């Protein structure tokens, strides 16, 4: 699939946002822990990706009711759904001057179409040394899910089955999609939100 940038200006993918609040002291402290000036952009991206994939729990996987949204909140509580985790990855990498955007997929919410669909969030990272965008999915691995950091071929959490009306959206967004932000802001129980209120299309 050919990815399409929402903006041709890479600086747009470095913007600080409410959800991508990398000036927050918690984010700054974590970037000081994770990164050093000797690391390449690819090394930094891999470190940040694996930290969020492995150390920030997916709310559904741990059956937590807590809803987190902005990056510092996700880091503070060490949990969030895929939307929230994508905010944190963008925050860590944008703080290092690495352009990072938001991508989406339409997936079956559970394992069959009759159980409904949801929008799933992941990130795209631009590497100047490679002159290309790479998509990564930090939602967190578990049985049946093995997302990895790769600059050669995508190793995302979920394969797309177009015959079952799943789809990859090609746009790399500058900001988190308003529908994904709205659902986080409107709900206080992550499990109920996840089962019943996630958007099913952009």
Residue 75, pLDDT above cutoff 90: yes
Residue 202: inside a domain, yes or no? no
Residues 6+ apart with CB under 8 A from 90: 20, 71, 100, 101, 102, 123
- Residue 191 sits in a domain whose CATH number is 3.10.620.30
Give the model confidence (pLDDT) of 83-122 as tens digits.
999 999 999 999 999 999 999 999 999 988 999 999 999 9
> With contact defined as beta carbons under 8 Å apart, do 148 and 155 qualify?
yes
The Cα–Cα gap between 81 and 94 comes to 20
Asked if residue 62 belongs to a domain, the reply is yes
What value does the mean pLDDT take over residues 27-49? 98
What's the pLDDT at 40?
98
What whole-number percentage of the chain has pLDDT above 70? 100
In Å, how far from its chain's centre is CA 179? 15
How many domains, the chain?
1
Residue 39 lies in a domain: yes
Read off the pLDDT of each residue in 131-153 and give the average, rounded to a whole number: 96
pTM of the model: 0.97
């Amino acid at each position: 699939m050919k990815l399409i940038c929402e903006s041709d200006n890479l600086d747009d993918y470095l913007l600080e946002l409410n959800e991508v609040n990398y000036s927050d002291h918690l984010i700054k402290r974590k970037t000081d822990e994770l990164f050093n000036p000797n690391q390449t952009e690819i090394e930094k991206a891999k470190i940040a990706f694996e930290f969020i994939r492995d150390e920030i729990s997916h709310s559904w996987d741990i059956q937590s009711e807590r809803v987190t949204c902005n990056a510092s909140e996700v880091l503070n509580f060490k949990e969030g759904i895929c939307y929230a985790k994508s905010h944190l990855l963008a925050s860590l990498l944008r703080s290092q001057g690495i352009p990072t955007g938001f991508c989406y997929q339409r997936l079956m919410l559970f394992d069959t179409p009759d159980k409904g669909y949801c929008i799933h969030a992941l990130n795209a990272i631009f590497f100047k040394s490679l002159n290309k965008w790479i998509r990564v999915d930090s939602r967190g691995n578990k049985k049946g899910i093995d997302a990895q950091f790769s600059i050669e071929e995508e190793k995302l959490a979920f394969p797309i089955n177009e015959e079952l009306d799943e789809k990859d959206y090609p746009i790399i967004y500058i900001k988190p999609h308003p529908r994904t932000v709205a659902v986080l802001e409107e709900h206080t129980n992550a499990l109920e939100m996840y089962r019943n209120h996630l958007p099913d299309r952009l």
